[in-house]
Structure 1
């Protein structure tokens, strides 16, 4: 746009006359508020910009997982990452073991489907892949000089099936899970009482274990109708420690065994036993 020169219009006569008479002293001009208002506006804009940046940062943090925020990551409590668990379907007309109408507390589901799956990252034992296993595979859990007695007890207890799964996690923990189904609750309990018999050696020990102590880490695990019997290898032990627990669940007896170089950790043992027990409940 071209610059234009503005000229004031000629004043009227009355205005000229008034101009010839002395005019009163002009009032002191008031200080303009425009600079002040402009400064306030600038600071307000700055605050809004900073506030927007701060809000955006806060929203970004709350949108992240806790472990993604630097300085806020929490260490794992030691639990393993198991797949989502679900009870298998039952044959038509069959009942869960501890429901009204199933007085025999019988597990009608396929025993192999009641085995706890291996956690994420574990290497499955090719000999214990979750299928049926022979009696000798189960007997290998015990000391060699106990196997004959255990086998005789099983022959008197009407054992029907044994299913097993084993795995090793990256931290070196070896886990074996055995499920044994008997012809009745009475037979299952009779065998459990036999292997837990408090004789000169205490309960029949796993191979390589020379002494035991009662494990109290499962005392807070409460599952209706089930009983847990948990043990630790007593110190001093060799290069690795073993923990094991029996789960009495109606016509089925479960055994969970964990061994690890140095020390068998408490948290994964608790977790594994509790989850396997839930699948049998």
Structure 2
């Protein structure tokens, strides 16, 4: 037995490798097996992102719930200023006399506003300079008509005299950018008189109605968002065209026995966002 054979026998008896010396010398060396990476960092990252998503989801759900669960008497002030909206104060519907219903509730077939008309005027937003002549109190017919062209004042005065108009409340203000807002609320003896004055005298559904003082042409405001409208009321919005040194936007709102006339004038361009916001909030108070 050769020396090589003796070494192989000893390796077998000791449980060692049985390949020959030639095989051991020619077999390629295997690359080292890399250590298995730890999954702890990955798991921690997943956990952190999952927690963040859950938190954000909870905040979003809470916000949506808060918006959809608002009571009808809590009209939102829409105080977001980043998109041009004004910072209106928190608004709520005024108290009613004992046992008096809201205008569009069961039992109020005449759609009558029993609340004090002055309490239904939209308050001025933050930063506004109030108009001392339109301070939220009562005004006369002549003051209301003064915002129209002279020829149109004459045409409107007669139907107003025949319309069983009860009274007019008004508020006005001017914003730092020069936008002037005027709101007039006209209450009639019945919804029929209010509707007749809106349709026949003001011609709210067309562009050939009476024009405001200084306005030469008019176009229907087709951009008024339908999602902010109030049930049982319809806004009729207009914008002055062609535009002069300043521009005016205005709207008519009929809510039962009450008609709102809202105007906004600004040098250059009357901005769309605050106008729509103002109309929507006044509509909420009347509806």
TM-score by length of 1: 0.71
Indicate conservation of the 8 Å contact 2:207/2:220, yes or no. Answer: no
**1:223 equivalent in structure 2:** 230
Which of 1 and 2 has greater Rg? 1
Displacement of 1:203 in angstroms is: 1.3
- 2:254 maps to 248
Q: Are the counterparts in 2 of residues 123 and 169 from structure 1 also a CA contact under 8 Å?
A: yes
Would the alpha carbon gap of residues 195 and 122 (structure 1) be closer, same or farther in structure 2, given more than 3 Å must change? same
TM-superposition CA deviations, 1:190-222 (whole Å, max 9, x none): 000123338997111100001100002224132
1: CA distance between counterparts of 2:224 and 2:270? 15
Any idea what SS the aligned residue of 2:159 has? helix
User: Partner residue of 2:37?
Assistant: none
Could you say which residue in structure 2 is the equivalent of 1:77?
Answer: 83
> Match of 2:265?
259
After TM superposition, where is structure 1 displaced by more than 6 Å over at least 4 residues in a row? Answer: 198-201
Contact 1:173/1:258 (8 A) holds in 2: yes
Correspondence list, 1:38-49, <5 A = none
How far does residue 156 in structure 1 lie from its aligned partner after superposition?
A: 1.2
Choose the corresponding residue for 1:277, options 271, 274, 283: 283
The one of 180, 190, 200 aligned to 1:194: 200
The Cα offsets for residues 157-205 of structure 1, whole Å up to 9 and x where unpaired, read as: 1000100000000011000000000000000000001233389971111
CA gap of 1:200–1:75, structure 2 versus 1, over 3 A, is: closer
CA-based RMSD of the aligned residues comes to: 1.8
The match for 2:129 is 123
Name the CA distance, whole Å, in 2 between partners of 1:198 and 1:100: 28
Residues 217, 270 of structure 1: 8 Å contact kept: no
**Separation in 2 of the partners of 1:152 and 1:187?**
13
8 Å contact kept, 1:185–1:250: yes
1:85 and 1:91, CA in 2 relative to 1: closer, same or farther beyond 3 A?
same
Q: Which residue of 1 aligns with 2:106?
A: 100
SS of the aligned residue for 2:249 comes to strand
How many residues were matched structurally?
207
Contact 1:124 1:167 in 2 (8 A): yes
1:279 deviates by: 0.2
Contact 1:96–1:102 at 8 Å: present in 2 too?
Answer: yes
Q: Which moved more, 1:212-221 or 1:189-198?
A: 189-198
